[in-house]
Amino acid sequence: MAKEITPRSEDYSQWYLDIVQKARLADNSPVRGCMVIKPHGFGIWERMRDALDAMFKETGHVNAYFPLFIPKSFLSKEAAHVEGFAKECAVVTHYRLKNDPNGGGVIVDPEAKLEEELIVRPTSETIIWNTYRDWIQSYRDLPLLINQWANVVRWEMRTRPFLRTAEFLWQEGHTAHASREEAVEETLMILDIYARFAEEWMAMPVIKGVKTANERFAGADDTYCIEALMQDGKALQAGTSHYLGQNFAKAFDVQFLNRENQQEYVYATSWGVSTRLIGGMIMTHSDDDGLVLPPKLAPIQVVIVPIPKPSPELMEAAEKIAGQLRAKGVRVKVDNDDQNRPGFKFAEYEMIGIPVRLGLGQRDIAANQVEVARRDTKEKSNVPLDTIADHVATLLDDIQQNLFERARNYRDEHITKADTWAEFVDILENKGGFVYAHWDGTSETEVAIKEQTKATIRCIPLGWDEEPGACILTGKPSEKRVLFAKAY
Amino acid sequence: MAKEITPRSEDYSQWYLDIVQKARLADNSPVRGCMVIKPHGFGIWERMRDALDAMFKETGHVNAYFPLFIPKSFLSKEAAHVEGFAKECAVVTHYRLKNDPNGGGVIVDPEAKLEEELIVRPTSETIIWNTYRDWIQSYRDLPLLINQWANVVRWEMRTRPFLRTAEFLWQEGHTAHASREEAVEETLMILDIYARFAEEWMAMPVIKGVKTANERFAGADDTYCIEALMQDGKALQAGTSHYLGQNFAKAFDVQFLNRENQQEYVYATSWGVSTRLIGGMIMTHSDDDGLVLPPKLAPIQVVIVPIPKPSPELMEAAEKIAGQLRAKGVRVKVDNDDQNRPGFKFAEYEMIGIPVRLGLGQRDIAANQVEVARRDTKEKSNVPLDTIADHVATLLDDIQQNLFERARNYRDEHITKADTWAEFVDILENKGGFVYAHWDGTSETEVAIKEQTKATIRCIPLGWDEEPGACILTGKPSEKRVLFAKAY
């Protein structure tokens, strides 16, 4: 049934594309690099968004909305930022079309040229800090804790659904603070929220760390990140939280009167996660039969399939079970399709990742039981009808937990120390995963390692034991090990 | 306190702008015609979105996401659509900036010109129907009931916060059906949802009707609408639901195999409401002291103000009341600001439209009572502390109901029949509101009436008594009266 999916062992990259298509998560669009997020994929994103939104609000953040367009000149105001974001972006130059006088459909009206071109936001620091200048006068206006759910556009050359698309959906938090300490605390608090969300909702273990200068966000003093490990041994940056210092406040002249009655530039953070998380979720849990979804993010958690097909009696029994499950807050679908056979349906529900499938036939009802199949392990068991609701509720928790532990075991087995260059290269080429090795702290060495192995420093992990040593490439002194990996 | 707001009687248009600014709903942005939706305004939009989203989902719709950009050629594929939407739109022509070799900051890289320009979506029928072609093969794939929450851009010349902005937020539903009957049924079902949302959530009475050909959506066979009446006697189109026939299916060649095993073009609907609703809500309820919010949409429903300022005892009593209210699902804020006086705070909370204010002083506690002030009528009363939670919960319902009835009475008093041209002109000039009059059914007459009076046909109301008569302008025979008004 799942033969349409390329096995992971054969071609992981094609397997990923097959999953995205066959699990009905996204489609290509006629616009280069832009995808259509299909209802099943968007249902997952809605659950991610709602869970994160609640976590942001619990910690005092509010949502707002800033313009899609950024005047071109804004991008130039922060020196590092322009280098990072001006290059590949969508530029609006005109505001009108007209009928082609030569009959060739519609053409851009040359008379409707904008005085200053507008950039479709690749990220919103510039327009937001230009606005904050009007909102912040005194320390009493701080902290300003604002988040935005939005679409952004970066004109990527090589795109891949969810992982790297020209347009993507994300949230971007932009906060303003009266002190460096408070801003750094915010940056780290958000990093904790991201890690908690990844592990508790996505069942995706992550390592919290700080980026090297090379990998920092354009305009940040420090970039913190959560890094996950995919099944093919490549790392995925799943979220970033930036301490921006006073860089944007200075670029946009945002000062406040502090408690000492003096003008001071405001301290900033920004942070974001995107629809890329869906790609990370796919590559953490799914298998050769299709998508595997953590129950907390599954739009449908349980499907009840009457076997061999719907009948009034089977549907009545199925609806009764569904009612019991819904009363426990479980999201249930009762399959009422009378066109396809059970085998076809089972494969289809496995393909789209429904965590639990209940099969209910005439003989099951006679035996007062139902067949329960879990998607993660493919195990089946017969469960008495009387206790089915409690059983399924517990099972969903078990699946969530099992997915996390399975992924964490895999990840932990793929963090390998290397102390020689030969070991380092061997691990990257043959085992994959994170390599925990010494680095002399220079950008030159970081670049040289990347050129020779394609591995980058994913992060300097936070709170791990530190031991001095010698750089894996140059042999120069190193204060502590850092995490290398090939990455998406 | 509210002296910063221009009175409605003096300048309704300026009053509106003052409310938007002073109630902290939105700000202007540096991008022409684009606004920043501030946290208080966005909090209202979030409640609107969540309520509507639940209503769409209850009726079987799911959300998805389609690209921001539309290839220019797509706009030309539906003949009427291109006339309506090609004119004023943002056009992306380039995908890269570069450093100005002459040192003038960043400039558009002339080498990064797109082969085909992209339009920032003004609405998504074209890109969605181009996608549906791949999703629909047989009647079994139908109906397709999809909604999208998105930003859209229309390059309006005269903008006004919420009511008409270059970029705005909205939802757009796009459904596909196997028969005309089913599509028309969907169109009307959505119209009912819009009317129910407007009346039950926004407390804004609306008239359901159908548009004349002149006022139809570009590409629709029929446009249905809900029309509301603002305090200044002008009408506001608050939502539209379109029956698109087979127009987009033919333009994008979307056919399905019907139950008779024949290829047939798919029947379509589209429907949308936008952040414009916030403008309608403001102009339905607010007064010269500020915003008035229907409790169901208020981000904060109740504020508790310790008088004259926070003390441990007052805060403890306030938190106790807050806890009782939260247990009933009421959204409460306890004011803990010790900088400003009660009078200032009261004016501020009236300005931002919090429906109920509780004032709690030492003497109130001694008397086992609290002062309750409602925003809609400004009435105050003392309520025993023991029953305050029940009292406030009931009061919120009363306010919601009172706002609706007040607005409905005003609206009903401003639907006036006119049987002569003199009456018609007199009502429009002196009384305002809807004029219910006969029209000969021709576009020429509709245009002539608009040129002479600025009034347009808002809609042909659904389900109202029909009586034949003579056209108000031409005297020609008319089957039924229609609703005229000046409109936003």
- Per CB-CB distance under 8 Å, the chain B contacts of A131 are 27, 29, 36
What's the CA gap between B151 and B121, in Å, rounded? 8
Question: Distance (Å, rounded) from C-alpha A309 to C-alpha B148?
Answer: 34
Cβ distance B93 to A96 less than 8 Å, yes or no, reads no
Look at B88 and A96 and tell me if their CB atoms are within 8 Å: yes
Residue A181 burial by Cβ neighbours in a 10 Å radius (0-12, 13-18, 19+): exposed
Nearest CA in chain B to A96: B88
Tell whether A290 is covered by a domain. Answer: no
Interface A–B counts its CB contacts (< 8 A) at: 186
Partners of residue B43 in chain A, C-beta under 8 Å: 62-63
The verdict on a CB contact (< 8 Å) between B140 and A75 is: no
For residue A374, what is the domain's CATH number?
3.40.50.800
From B256, B285, B314, the end of a domain falls on: B285
Interchain contact, A95 vs B93, CB within 8 Å:
no
Verify whether the Cβ–Cβ distance A68 to B151 is below 8 Å.
Answer: yes
Confidence of residue B2 (pLDDT cuts 50, 70, 90): very low
A91 closest CB neighbour out of B64, B74, B95: B95
- For a pLDDT cut of 90, what percent of chain B falls above it? 94
Taking the C-alpha atoms of residue B179 and residue B264, their distance in angstroms, rounded to an integer, is 9
Using a CB-CB cut-off of 8 Å, the residues of chain B touching A93 are: 91-94, 108
Residue B156: its pLDDT value, please? 87
Which residues contact residue B191 at a Cβ distance below 8 angstroms, ignoring those fewer than 6 apart? B208, B224, B225, B226, B239, B241, B271
Is B91 close to A90, i.e. CB distance below 8 A?
Answer: no
A404 CB neighbour count, 10 Å cutoff:
20
Nearest to A96 among B75, B155, B169 (CB): B155
CB distance A382 to A369 below 8 Å:
yes
Strands B69-71 and B62-63: unpaired
Query: B238 and B224 in contact (C-beta within 8 Å)?
Result: no
In the chain, the amino acid numbered A488 is: Y
Instruction: Assess whether pLDDT exceeds 80 at residue B102.
Output: yes
Q: How many residues does chain A have?
A: 488
Is residue B460, in this structure, part of any structural domain at all? yes
Collapsed DSSP state (helix, strand, coil) of residue A37:
strand
DSSP string of A276-334, one letter each residue: HHHHHHHHHH-BTTB----GGG-S--EEEEEESS--HHHHHHHHHHHHHHHHTT--EEE
On whether ipTM exceeds 0.85, the answer is yes
Mean pLDDT of A441-466: 97
**Closest residue by Cα to residue B64 from A42, A21, A35:** A42
Q: CA dist B5 to A328, B15, B17, B190, B287, Å?
A: 51, 6, 9, 37, 10
Domain containing A474 — which CATH number?
3.30.110.30
Q: Which residues of A touch B87 (CB under 8 A)?
A: 96-98
Residues of B with Cβ-Cβ distance to A118 under 8 angstroms? 31, 90
> Does residue B376 sit in the same domain as residue B304?
yes
Q: Which of B21, B34, B36, B175 to mutate to test the interface with A (most CBs of A within 10 A)?
A: B36
Specify if B293 maps to a domain. Answer: no
Give the HSE-up count for residue B59: Cα atoms under 13 Å, Cβ half-sphere.
20
User: Which one of B91, B98, B134 has the shortest CB-CB distance to A97?
Assistant: B91
Contact: A120, B120; criterion CB under 8 Å = yes
- Name the minimum distance, in Å, from the CA of B94 to any CA of chain A: 5
Quick one: pLDDT at residue B376?
Answer: 98
A75 contacts B106? CB cut-off 8 A: yes
Q: Is A228 helix (H, G, I), strand (E, B) or coil?
A: strand
Report the pLDDT value the prediction gives residue A3, as an integer from 0 to 100.
62
pTM exceeds 0.90 for this model: yes
Query: What is the arrangement of strands in the sheet containing B332-334, beginning at the earlier edge strand?
Result: B332-334, B302-307, B356-361, B369-374, B380-384
With respect to residue B405, please indicate whether it lies within any of the assigned structural domains. Answer: no
B51 and B170 part of one domain: yes
DSSP letter assigned to residue A138: B
Residue type, position A110, single letter: P
**pLDDT tens-digit map of B145-204:** 999 999 999 998 899 999 999 999 999 999 999 999 999 999 999 999 999 999 999 999
User: Shortest Cα distance from B393 to chain A (angstroms)?
Assistant: 24
Please tell me whether residue A338 adopts helix, strand or coil conformation: coil
Q: Closest CB to B90: pick one of A27, A71, A92.
A: A92
**A358 within domain boundaries:** yes
Segment A439-464 shows an average pLDDT of 97
Residue tagged 């009764």 (tokens): A320
When pLDDT is cut at 50, 70 and 90, the band that residue A2 belongs to is very low
Partners of B42 on chain A (C-beta within 8 Å) are 62-65
pLDDT digits (tens, 9 = 90+) for A102-126: 877 889 999 999 999 999 999 999 9
Tell if the CB–CB gap between B105 and A73 is shorter than 8 Å: yes
Please tell me the distance in Å from A73's CA to the nearest CA on chain B. 7
One domain, residues B136 and B281: yes
Structural domain contains residue A38: yes
Candidate from A31, A39, A82 with C-beta closest to B63: A39
Q: Quick one: average pLDDT of A45-52?
A: 98
How high is the mean pLDDT of chain B?
Answer: 96
For residues A145 and B395, what is the distance between their CA atoms, to the nearest angstrom? 32
Q: What percent of chain B has pLDDT over 70?
A: 99
∠ CA B234-B238-B239, rounded to 5°: 150
pLDDT digits (tens, 9 = 90+) for A248-307: 999 999 999 999 999 999 999 999 999 999 999 999 999 999 999 999 999 999 999 999
Judged by CB atoms closer than 8 Å, whether chains meet at B120 and A92 is answered as yes
> With contacts defined as CB-CB under 8 Å, which chain A residues touch B98?
86-87
Tell whether A88 and A174 lie within a shared domain: yes
Q: Is A428 left (phi over 0), alpha (psi -120 to 50) or beta?
A: alpha
- Are the Cβ atoms of B42 and A64 closer than 8 angstroms? yes
**% of chain A surpassing 70 pLDDT:** 99
Q: What's the pLDDT band for A85 if we cut at 50, 70, 90?
A: confident
Within a domain: residue A291?
A: no
Residue B420 Cα, gap to closest chain A Cα (Å): 42
A47 pLDDT band, cuts 50/70/90, is very high
Same-domain pairing of A390 and A452: no
Q: Is the peptide bond before B308 cis (omega within 30 degrees of 0)?
A: yes
Q: What pLDDT shows up at residue A83?
A: 80
Which residue range(s) make up the domain with B364? Answer: 300-395
Please tell me the distance from the alpha carbon of residue B167 to that of residue A122, in angstroms, as a whole number: 17
Q: At A358, which helix (H) or strand (E)?
A: strand A356-361
Pick from B35, B71, B93: CB nearest A91: B93
Q: In this structure, are A229 and A252 located in the same domain?
A: yes
DSSP A57-116: HHTT-EE-B--SEEEHHHHTTSHHHHHHHSSS--EEEES-EEE-TTSSSEEE-TT-EEEE
The DSSP 8-state label assigned to residue A386 in this structure reads G
How far away is chain B from the Cα of A329, in angstroms, using its nearest Cα? Answer: 16
As given in the structure block, the two tokens for residue A181 are 């300490």
Nearest to A94 by CA among B104, B76, B155: B155
- Listed residues A285, A312, A337: the one ending a domain: A285
Measure CB to CB from residue B39 to each of A37, A42, A62 and give the nearest one: A62
Q: Do A257 and A319 fall within a single domain?
A: no
Asked if residue B115 is part of any domain, the answer here is no
Question: How far is the alpha carbon of B323 from chain A, nearest alpha carbon, in Å?
Answer: 16
Contact (CB<8Å) A37/B64:
yes
Residues B242/B187, Cβ–Cβ less than 8 Å: yes
Note whether B39 contacts A27, CB cutoff 8 Å: no
B261 shares a domain with B133: yes
What CATH number is given to the structural domain containing A163? 3.30.930.10
For residues B30-34, give the mean pLDDT: 94
Across the interface, of A74, A76, A108, the residue whose CB is closest to B93 is A108
Check residue B3 and give its pLDDT: 62
Indicate the residue type of A2.
Answer: A
Interface mutation target, options A25, A53, A66, chain B, most CBs of B under 10 Å: A66
Residue A101: per-residue pLDDT: 82
- Test B108 with A119 for CB contact under 8 angstroms: no
Q: Say how far apart CA A80 and CA A84 lie, in whole Å.
A: 7
Whether B39 and A146 lie within 8 Å, measured CB to CB: yes
Give the separation between CA B107 and CA B258, rounded to whole angstroms. Answer: 54
Would you say residue B397 has pLDDT above 70?
yes
pLDDT digits (tens, 9 = 90+) for B418-468: 999 999 999 999 999 999 999 999 999 999 999 999 999 999 999 999 999
Give how far B419 is from chain A: nearest CA, Å: 42
For residue B262 the two structure tokens come to: 């024949």
Question: In whole numbers, what is the pLDDT of chain A averaged over residues?
Answer: 96
Q: What is the mean pLDDT of residues B248-277?
A: 98
**Cβ–Cβ of A91/B97 closer than 8 Å?**
yes
Asked if residue A326 and residue A242 are part of one domain, the reply reads: no
Nearest CA in chain B to A133: B29
Asked if B96's CB is within 8 angstroms of A31's CB, the reply is no
Q: Is the pLDDT of residue A84 over 90?
A: no
Choosing among A97, A100, A175, which should be mutated to test the B contact, i.e. which has the most B CBs within 10 A?
A: A97
Name B54's Cβ contacts closer than 8 Å, sequence gap at least 6: none
Degrees (nearest 5) of the Cα angle A120, A125, A129? 120
Q: What total number of domains does chain B contain?
A: 3
Query: 3-class secondary structure for chain B?
Result: CHHHCCCCCCCHHHHHHHHHHHCCCEEECCCCCCEEECHHHHHHHHHHHHHHHHHHHHCCCEECECCCEEEHHHHCCCHHHHHHHCCCCCEEEECCEEECCCCCCEEECCCCEEEEEEEECCCCHHHHHHHHHHHCCEHHHCCEEEEEEEEEECCCCCCECCCECCEEEEEEEEEEECCHHHHHHHHHHHHHHHHHHHHHCCCCCCEEEECCHHHCCCCCCEEEEEEEECCCCCEEEEEEEEEEECHHHHHCCCEEECCCCCEEECEEEEEEEECHHHHHHHHHHCECCECCCCHHHCCCCEEEEEECCCCHHHHHHHHHHHHHHHHCCCCEEECCCCCCCHHHHHHHHHHCCCCEEEEEEHHHHHCCEEEEEECCCCCEEEEEHHHHHHHHHHHHHHHHHHHHHHHHHHHHHCEEECCCHHHHHHHHHHHCCEEEEECCCCHHHHHHHHHHHCCEEEEEECCCCCCCEECCCCCCEECCEEEEECEC
- First-to-last alpha carbon distance for chain A, in angstroms, is 30
Whether residues A346 and A435 fall in one domain: no
**Helix (H) or strand (E) segment spanning residue A245:** strand A235-245
Same domain for B141 and B15:
yes
For residue B1, what pLDDT is reported?
A: 43
Which residue, among B35, B61, B68, would best test binding to A if mutated, counting the most A CBs under 10 Å from its CB? Answer: B68
Please tell me the distance from the alpha carbon of residue B123 to that of residue B272, in angstroms, as a whole number: 10
Q: End of a domain among A329, A361, A394? A: A394
B75 & B201 share domain: yes
User: What is the nearest CA distance from A87 to chain B, expressed in angstroms?
Assistant: 5
Q: For A266, which DSSP code?
A: P
Task: Determine contact, residues A247/A78, Cβ cutoff 8 Å.
Answer: yes
Residues of A in contact with B45 (CB under 8 A): 65
